[in-house]
Amino acid sequence: MDLSQFVLEGKTALVTGGSRGIGEATAIALANAGADVAVTSRKLPELVRVADRIREVGRKSMAVETHVGRMDQLQPLVDKVVSEFGKIDILVNNGGTSVASPAMEYSEKAWDSVMNLNLKGLFFLSQAVARVMMENGGGNIINVTSISAFKPEIPTCAYSISKAGVVMATQCMAIEWAQHNIRVNAIAPGPIDTHLFNAKYAVLPEEEAEQQLAGIATRVPLRRIGQPNEIADAMVFLASNASSYLTGQTITIDGGLTLR
């Protein structure tokens, strides 16, 4: 086995939702593998902290405040990264949101908020970055979907719908852009210890929240909630030459939960 295939030396990555959780862990993992990494999200102070961590491992970094759900901010984001690094080899579409509400009561505003960030922004940012990749001989796009794409999560049905769309977007982009040496894959995390995952339990009394989280852990065959770095390690694999014959696929990382 040639471990050099996992090295990302000379590559430039852009990670959305890069200020915490899976995005932060992914940005650091890519940097540790040798890539220069730009991180973006809606909260600049947290991004600056992550960018500083990337520089500590000897890689170049930049923090760009962007709302990926707003289409007018996508091309300026790409332009800033290309201006700083000259190219984008790896795009990780990790930014996402969820709004809890029964389907019968779901508002158009909440629907648009979820769809614009989770699906529409992902698609059009991928399109803009793919144009850059085409000019530089190819690249890798990695989308973050969810196991909720395969089994409805109630009462956040719009989130499940958006993540199901990400799986299909991954397949469509992979087919069309393979001729340009652009590989497109996705990761579907299960229960991972992140702000987004924990937010739905934060509104509960502490004892009840602990009971519900413990209940989830007991349903996972590996008997625990996953950690962001366990997703980030798979990101490095998909971003590297080690996965050179893999495209259009969604890798489920959930401790075996979907087998239940």
Among the listed residues 106, 159, 201, 245, the single catalytic one is 159
Task: Give the SS3 label for residue 143.
Answer: strand
Q: Where are the beta strands (DSSP E) in the chain?
A: 12-16, 36-41, 61-65, 90-93, 139-144, 182-189, 250-253
Residue 95: which of 117, 115, 75 has the closest Cα? Answer: 117
> Is there a contact between 23 and 17 (Cβ–Cβ < 8 Å)?
yes
Say how far apart CA 245 and CA 219 lie, in whole Å: 33
| C-beta separation of 213 from 197 below 8 A | no
How far apart CA 95 and CA 166 sit, in angstroms, is 12
Known catalytic residue: 201? Answer: no
Q: Which residues contact 58 (CB under 8 A, 6 or more apart)?
A: none
Residue type, 29: A
- Which of the residues are catalytic? 159
